[in-house]
């Protein structure tokens, strides 16, 4: 089993590039197809902690669900934003690569090199 995991969407070019970069470095991460295996609120909180990010920072603001739900409004609490990401996982920015207690967003893909040090 790998020390690495990637929250991956195979349809996303950045996600594919990040996976390829890991593989070029001899890493075969556990692949989490987060659109099918939707993370729970608790799992998202743990990911956010490892990323050192707030829920709003992990939202994909260009998604239709972001606009439809009015998530640009600051009245939403962190818990409400996390719940929205659980209900509509397309809202979760991708890819997220995790190693142990740290995680990075693969935008750009080279960000994952931090985890290789």
Write the DSSP symbol of residue 92: B
User: Which residues are the active-site residues?
Assistant: 12
Choose among 22, 98, 14: nearest CA to 60: 14
Choose among 93, 116, 90: nearest CA to 23: 116
Cα distance between residue 111 and residue 113, in whole Å: 5
* Phi, then psi, of 25 in degrees rounded to 5: -95, 15
Helices (H) and strands (E) counted in the chain, each on its own, are 4, 4
**CATH code given to domain 4-116:** 3.40.30.10
Cα distance between residue 16 and residue 57, in whole Å: 21
Looking only at the bridges linking them, the beta strands covering 96-99 and 4-7 are antiparallel
Please list the pLDDT of the chain residue by residue as tens digits (117 residues).
679 999 999 999 999 999 999 999 999 999 999 999 999 999 999 999 999 999 999 999 999 999 999 999 999 999 999 999 999 999 999 999 999 999 999 999 999 999 998
């Amino acid at each position: 089993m790998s020390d690495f995991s990637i929250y991956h969407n195979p349809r996303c070019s950045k996600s594919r590039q990040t996976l390829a970069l890991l593989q070029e470095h001899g890493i075969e991460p556990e692949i989490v197809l987060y659109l099918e295996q939707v993370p729970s609120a608790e799992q998202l909180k743990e990911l956010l902690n490892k990323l050192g990010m707030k829920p709003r920072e992990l939202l994909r603001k260009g998604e239709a669900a972001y606009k439809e739900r009015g998530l640009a409004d600051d009245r939403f609490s962190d818990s409400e934003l996390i719940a929205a990401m659980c209900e509509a996982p397309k809202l979760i920015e991708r890819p997220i690569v995790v190693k142990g207690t740290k995680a990075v967003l693969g935008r750009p893909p080279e960000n994952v090199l931090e985890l290789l040090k």
